[in-house]
Structure formats: structure tokens, C-alpha cells
Amino acid sequence: GESVGLHLPTLSVQEGDNSIINCAYSNSASDYFIWYKQESGKGPQFIIDIRSNMDKRQGQRVTVLLNKTVKHLSLQIAATQPGDSAVYFCAEKRAGRRALTFGSGTRLQVQP
């Protein structure tokens, strides 16, 4: 079936380095994508989103890239900090639906 998945279950980076978290999706009709950060014991926190008519969007220290040709989404975090340690989920909204379909998640570990 169609799904949203992630390439790497765990990513370990040094503090100050840039992090890249990847996500693959299979539904070409998806028109909206969101990245969430979930810290232990908390609900998912919205980080950044992007619509399918864009290929890049920047926020504070974060950038989302969308490659519709290969159905790939990535989250780039600049100058990773210990507070960035969490599980990151990509989610897609499929055209005609209001709910989100979530990927399997990547745990980001920031080493001091």
C-alpha cells in the first residue's frame, strides 16, 4: 500500500553540525507536508510545512526540501543543538483528505 516512510531510524550528530533527516512518500497526489518534532513525553510539535507547489521553504535554523520527481522530503537543521534531540516525523496530507499520514519517525541524537 501507499505509505510515508523514513530512510534512517536513528541519526547521531555532533553539536554544531548540520542535520539532515529524510523521508520518502509514495502518493503523488499528496499536496501538503509537515515536519513534527516529538520530545519524550510530549505531543508532536509543528516545525515547518511545505506545499507541493514549492520545492524549498526555510524557517529559523530549519529548511524543508521537497523533490516531487523522486517523492522525497528532507528536513535540514542548521547548527544542531542538544535541544534538538527528539524524534522527527514527516507527515503528508493526501489530496481530498483532511487527516495526515505519518512516517515511521527518525530519532535525532545530538552528541555534545
Partner 1 sequence: SAVISQKPSRDICQRGTSLTIQCQVDSQVTMMFWYRQQPGQSLTLIATANQGSEATYESGFVIDKFPISRPNLTFSTLTVSNMSPEDSSIYLCSVAGGGRNTDTQYFGPGTRLTVL
Binding site for partner 1 (CB under 8 A): 32, 34, 36, 41-46, 49, 89, 91, 93, 98-105
Lookup: cell for 60 = 529559523
Report the nearest approach of partner 1 to the CB of residue 104 (Å): 5
Report the nearest approach of partner 1 to the CB of residue 65 (Å): 19
Alpha-carbon distances of 106 from 40, 54, 83, 98, rounded to whole Å: 13, 24, 15, 24
Cβ-based neighbours of 83, under 8 Å, separated by 6 or more? none
Q: Which of 70/99 has CB closer to partner 1?
A: 99
Q: CA–CA separation, 110 vs 15, rounded Å? A: 6
Q: Which of 43/83 has CB closer to partner 1?
A: 43
Report the nearest approach of partner 1 to the CB of residue 76 (Å): 20
Q: Which of 29/79 has CB closer to partner 1?
A: 29
